Amino acid sequence: MQISRCAFHRFALKTLCEPRPRTQSQSFATVISATVMSNKVAFYAVAKGRAPGVYMTWDECREQTTGFPAARFKKLRSAAEAEEYLARFGIKWTLPEETTPTPAPFQRAIENKVESPADDGGCTIVYCDGACKGNGQAESVAGIGVWWGRSDPRNLAERCPGSQTNNRAELIAIVRVLETAPHNKNPLIIKTDSQYSIKCLRTWLPKWLDNGFKTAKGDPVKNVQLIYYLNALLAQRALEGQKVHLEYVRGHAGEEGNEGADALANIGAYKPTVPERDWEALQAQLSNTDHADSNAMKAAVQDVVSAETSAEVPMDEEELQAYANCLLPDEDIELDLLDDYN
């Protein structure tokens, strides 16, 4: 389903505040979101400098140490290493908990206190991302990030619950947007670099709702309850009269919101382990039935459209056959998409 370019595409994300030196009292994930990062997370621990603490870019670290007498600092790969390094100098620093790992499904973060970023057309715009270190390996860690803007208190950096894969993190990031974004009549624009998530919601889900969640080979689709819950969240907004649009953005292409969501997701991956959520119970609570009304669910799927972007996501029957088993190993998805998007 295609829609024409609408006014929200003219929206230009504005700086809410400039990045500030980090202190123990500041929100770590908030400061992360205020810095455009590369696809690799680094922690710059400054033990002796103008403002000791942990920074996420070399430029910030350099500002605190250049010209400072006997400056001491080090680039590290994890929050734990940064904490240990600073402890050697008598500086106590820990990664603060930014969000509750198992939030209530109806939580709507500060929606009445903080105005959502929107353009002249009144659309609500948010970025989300998932990240996984060691994807497909036994010791993999995954996180999710939701980015509203620089130093915005609604920004989320959370550990992915349950199984640690990039695909799950990408889908659950969308879940967290739908759980926390304002409920109103303004279209909700969710910007993601996950081609997989867009395919899952726009192409496979309508077919699964019709065939009882079976793959092209007739096997049960994996993680059905997670998908049911995600779609119940969409159905809820559809019944409230709110449109939800998924917009594809290229990852690591310099778009601030995408880079911010990626940074938050990487931070979330280093947070403590979170158990799997009871998706079936959450979905039942949301719909007040054992199963959401299929007509409402289908209507919600039909309303999830992708706005025109610079990189169109192809959808056809051949791809459905190739990808039909939901949440395939990430490397399978990536290899098949490599030719189209690299």
Residue 50: predicted pLDDT: 86
Q: Are residues 237 and 293 in the same domain?
A: yes
Give tens-digit pLDDT for 282-305.
Answer: 988 886 643 445 555 555 554 554
Report if residue 219 sits inside a domain. yes
Task: Based on the fold, state whether residues 264 and 310 are members of the same structural domain.
Answer: yes
Q: Based on the domain organization, do 56 and 178 belong to the same domain?
A: no
pLDDT tens column, 196-243 = 889 888 888 888 888 888 888 888 887 788 988 998 899 889 888 899
Which residue range forms the structural domain that includes residue 136? 124-341
Report the mean per-residue pLDDT for the chain: 70
Whether 42 shows a pLDDT value over 50: the answer reads yes
Q: Provide the CB-side half-sphere exposure for 95 (13 A, CA).
A: 25
- Which pLDDT belongs to residue 211? 87
- Same domain flag for 34 and 138: no
239 assigned to some structural domain:
yes
Tell me: do 78 and 165 sit in the same domain.
no
Segments of 16-136 assigned E as strands:
43-48, 53-55, 72-76, 124-133
Q: Domain holding 51: CATH number? A: 3.40.970.10
The count of domains in the chain is: 2
Shared domain for 292 and 155, answered yes or no, is yes
CATH of the domain at 218: 3.30.420.10
- DSSP assignment of 116-129: PP--TT--EEEEEE
**49 and 129 share a domain?**
no
